[in-house]
A and B are shown apart, each in its own frame.
Chain A
């Protein structure tokens, strides 16, 4: 059975701190790993990683994938209160007969206090 596990499940930090969120997975027919940010409503896309060891960056956020050890990390530097959200990790796997689908982890609830 496919599994995506995120840690920690919740995290409270102060503005300016740096945080690291973890995602490990066991998935057959892996295609890519995706990170989403969910504030009050729909998840919004952050990163997609397909290759090992290549860092993706967007401002203060960065992510890297290790396909050998089957995990990814999402780093947020100089956190701001606007970073408070649930961060979701999902793995895209390809199915022969019914296309590809995402398996999500439980999410990490990040709270950034002023």
Chain B
């Protein structure tokens, strides 16, 4: 049981390049989330998904796109990377069943640098 995994762990991009971050979970969770973490700003929600084939915008969605084609995977795409997207990205998942509190389980993070 690997929990939540993320690939890659590190990446350096040049401005304007594109990339996709992959998140996978093996807990059969309905909900999945992408966050970014910057110094002094806690975790900010980028996009999230409440089920296969559905996505929703979070607090800071601009410059990112997501897809949830399979229940266990949640992809985060950067179409044209900018230095402001230099950050640590965390994926998380939760059961999301209504009536249950929403404890989220986090992946190990991806450190992205955009030059």
Contacts and interface: CB of A to CB of B under 8 A. Distances in A.
Interface of A: 4, 6, 9, 31-32, 34, 41-45, 48, 50, 88, 90, 92, 94, 98-107
Contact of B106 (A32, A43, A99): A43
B75 interface: no
Contacts of A32: 101-102
Contacts of B48: 98-99, 101
Interface residues of B, number: 26
A50 B101 CA distance: 8
A48 B103 contact: yes
Interface of B: 4, 31, 33, 35, 40-45, 48, 50, 56, 58, 90, 96, 98, 101-109
A4 to B, nearest CB: 8
B106 A42 contact: yes
A88 B42 contact: yes
Given A31-B102, A32-B101, A50-B101, A101 B58 contact: yes
B96 A99 contact: yes
B105 A45 contact: yes
Contacts of B45: 101-103
27 contacts: A31-B101, A32-B101, A34-B101, A41-B108, A42-B90, A42-B107, A43-B43, A43-B90, A44-B106, A45-B103, A45-B104, A45-B105, A48-B101, A88-B43, A92-B101, A94-B98, A98-B48, A98-B50, A99-B50, A99-B96, A100-B31, A101-B48, A102-B33, A102-B45, A104-B44, A106-B42, A107-B42
A28 to B, nearest CB: 15
A35 to B, nearest CB: 11
